[in-house]
Amino acid sequence: MDVKKNYERWLNSPRVSEEDKKILRELSQEQINDAFFKNAEFGTGGLRGVLGPGTNRVNVHTVGRISVGFAQYLKSRFPGGKAEAMGIAISHDNRFMSREFTLLAADIFNRMGIKVYIFDALRSTPELSFAVRDKGCCGGIMITASHNPKNYNGYKVYDEKGCQLIPSLVDKMLKFIDALPDELSYKVPEAKQKGELVTLGQETDERYWELVKKVQVHPELDKKGFKVIYSPQHGASYEGAMAVFSSLGYEIIPVKEQCVHDPNFGATKSPNPEVALAWELPLAYASKYNAQLVVMTDPDGDRCGLAYQGHDGQYHRLTGNESAALLIDYILSEKKKAGVLPANSVMYDTIVSSSLGKEVAQSYGVSVESFLTGFKFIGSRIGYYEDAGKGPTFVFGYEESYGCLASDFVRDKDGIQAILLYTEMALYYCRKGIDLGEAYEDLQKRFGYRLATMKDMYFEGMEGNAKMQRLMKDLHRKPCKEISGIKVASVEDYLSDVRTFENGRTEKIVGLPASDVLKFFLADGSTLCIRPSGTEPKVKYYIEVKGKKEELEEKAERLYADFVKSLGI
């Protein structure tokens, strides 16, 4: 894009507020480049970006244009007035401009003749997915930037099954958006009859909560004396999580400072459960109340994390891979004991998930299907078998980044389902005199020790973006033959959908859409996967190493350091 031309176009447009023009005039050249070098793009979690004026920013102009295009896409997908009658559900989190963007999108859809279901206040991502299904909508919108910093916001789009649009559908939607004039010139096509605006409230909440409660495996467990600290990280899950936990008799102690719906995230150093800083205040609460467990949902309520009290009295966090593997083992083992594990069951994970979850599921006779990063692929697969009227029975789905789903009445990650099951699992082991660390150690002994970790490398701004693209292009063109002195046994290139073995033999990767991802399988059983983030300006490195327990951490660090060095970074 022509940065200078677009910058001046915004400064001279009557549709841009004087406040935004003042912000633009005060930007440095580097900031101008970042705000205008491209249009904000859809990634693995929908559209997500920094708030502010500019084509590469999230603002009323970019959100409005996307809303018109999405509405046109839904009308084409459900013609003859079906989209208008089915309607669309919209929700939002606690972030700056979230309510304003929600009302803007609702107004545009109404003006285009489409019924809109809008919550009376913020609600979580999983409840938005549920609402789409509950109301029989043709689509949904969630205004959120998930766990990103406070200066971000975003726009996630959903299909009629409550699943985020997969790439093939996003491409169809983008054709409508791309056909529109630019974000300062588009117009809203006015329908002859305006759509109805319907407010959703507690009745929808209660239907969702009742289904969440049904994911329990052992609701009869004695909860007396078992204390749980809960933080919603200022986000949308607070009311729902507390309602579910309280009705089931759990002793839940909320981190009150982080229960305020504060867009500044004033009482947390990070809203991301994967970051250690996010845990400072919840762990202080845990120590104060001598709680056995700490659970956390992110701002839009689709991810969760947990920390347990060990026999040493200290609190220890589990990664998304570790907690998911433990939960898979708990759910499947208990269902098998009770004779309620379906004979033809399936578990879904991703190509960057640890191999442990897969091995655990397979040990119970459960088949496993792996997808690209993005829970939409898991939700879509559930819908695929649903439409076919036959196929395996879904029993669990997860991503390594603290996202999982136990029951498919929702088609996205569900943090409340997750923290309820994690709490039950911790209580189950507690009654046996075992902490979660000991349970995970037992799992490792059964399946072999391994360590899965993830590293980030940021590429900020226009120059960083170009550097990141060059890095990935070079790797696709000439992938590594060895990493840290270990031969690469095979490499999977998901952009060309080709698996190449050490001897030069190739085979097609079937069933996955093209994506800018490479995964290296090393001769010693280690793996390294590299992919650009779909939501932030960074590259993610997913590393898994196997071997002796005491050597795993050093081995993973060495593998990463040597790989980055070989790239010349």
Domain definitions of the chain by residue range: 3-200, 202-448, 450-566
**What is d(CA 418, CA 402) in angstroms, rounded to the nearest whole number?**
9
* 8 Å CB contact between 541 and 555: no
Q: What pLDDT, on a 0 to 100 scale, did the predictor assign at position 537?
A: 84
Q: Where does 3-200 sit in CATH, by number?
A: 3.40.120.10
Active-site residue numbers?
146
Q: What is the mean pLDDT of residues 14-30?
A: 97
Give the three-state DSSP class for 343.
Answer: coil
Q: What is the mean pLDDT of residues 198-221?
A: 98
pLDDT at residue 167 above 70?
Answer: yes
- The mean pLDDT of the chain is 96
Instruction: Show the tokens assigned to 9.
Output: 């176009």
Q: What pLDDT, on a 0 to 100 scale, did the predictor assign at position 131?
A: 98
Among candidates 152, 176, 191, which has minimal Cα distance to 65? 176
Confidence of residue 461 (pLDDT cuts 50, 70, 90): confident
* 8 Å CB contact between 153 and 40: no
Among candidates 46, 210, 11, which has minimal Cα distance to 140? 46
Confidence of residue 438 (pLDDT cuts 50, 70, 90): very high
**What is d(CA 257, CA 262) in angstroms, rounded to the nearest whole number?**
10
Give the three-state DSSP class for 289.
Answer: helix
pLDDT at residue 553 above 90?
Answer: yes
Amino acid at residue number 482: E
Confidence of residue 43 (pLDDT cuts 50, 70, 90): confident
Whether domain 202-448 has CATH 3.75.10.10: the reply is no
List helix spans (H) across 290-319: none
pLDDT at residue 44 above 80?
Answer: no
124 - beta bridge partners?
none
Beta strands in 314-449 (DSSP E): 315-318, 345-350, 367-371, 393-399, 403-405
Q: What is the CA radius of gyration of the chain?
A: 24
Q: What is the DSSP letter of 250?
A: -
Q: What is the mean pLDDT of residues 424-439?
A: 98
Confidence of residue 536 (pLDDT cuts 50, 70, 90): confident
**What is d(CA 449, CA 548) in angstroms, rounded to the nearest whole number?**
7
**What is d(CA 120, CA 89) in angstroms, rounded to the nearest whole number?**
12
Q: What pLDDT, on a 0 to 100 scale, did the predictor assign at position 257?
A: 98
pLDDT at residue 465 above 90?
Answer: no
pLDDT at residue 516 above 90?
Answer: yes
Q: What is the mean pLDDT of residues 20-38?
A: 96
pLDDT at residue 545 above 90?
Answer: yes
pLDDT digit string, tens, across residues 87-132: 999 999 999 999 999 999 999 999 999 999 999 999 999 999 999 9
Q: What pLDDT, on a 0 to 100 scale, did the predictor assign at position 462?
A: 84
pLDDT digit string, tens, across residues 385-397: 999 999 999 999 9
Q: What is the mean pLDDT of residues 16-40?
A: 96
Q: What pLDDT, on a 0 to 100 scale, did the predictor assign at position 506?
A: 96
Whether domain 450-566 has CATH 3.30.310.50: the reply is yes
Amino acid at residue number 331: I
pLDDT at residue 557 above 80?
Answer: yes
Backbone angle region of 504, left / alpha / beta, with phi > 0 → left and psi within -120 to 50 → alpha: left
Contacts of 93 (CB under 8 A, 6+ apart): 122, 124, 125, 142, 143, 144, 145, 235, 236, 299, 300, 301
Q: What is the mean pLDDT of residues 159-186?
A: 96
Among candidates 406, 400, 412, 396, which has minimal Cα distance to 347? 396
Place of tokens 């490499």: 491
Percent of residues, the chain, with pLDDT higher than 70: 100
Topology alike, domains 3-200 and 450-566: no
The CA distances from residue 296 to 199, 254, 267, 357, 406, in Å, are 28, 10, 14, 21, 17
* 8 Å CB contact between 395 and 364: no
**Nearest-5° Cα angle at 387, 418 to 68:** 80
Give the three-state DSSP class for 138.
Answer: coil
- 283 membership: H or E segment, kind and range: helix 280-289
Q: What pLDDT, on a 0 to 100 scale, did the predictor assign at position 463?
A: 86
**What is d(CA 527, CA 539) in angstroms, rounded to the nearest whole number?**
16
* 8 Å CB contact between 395 and 332: yes
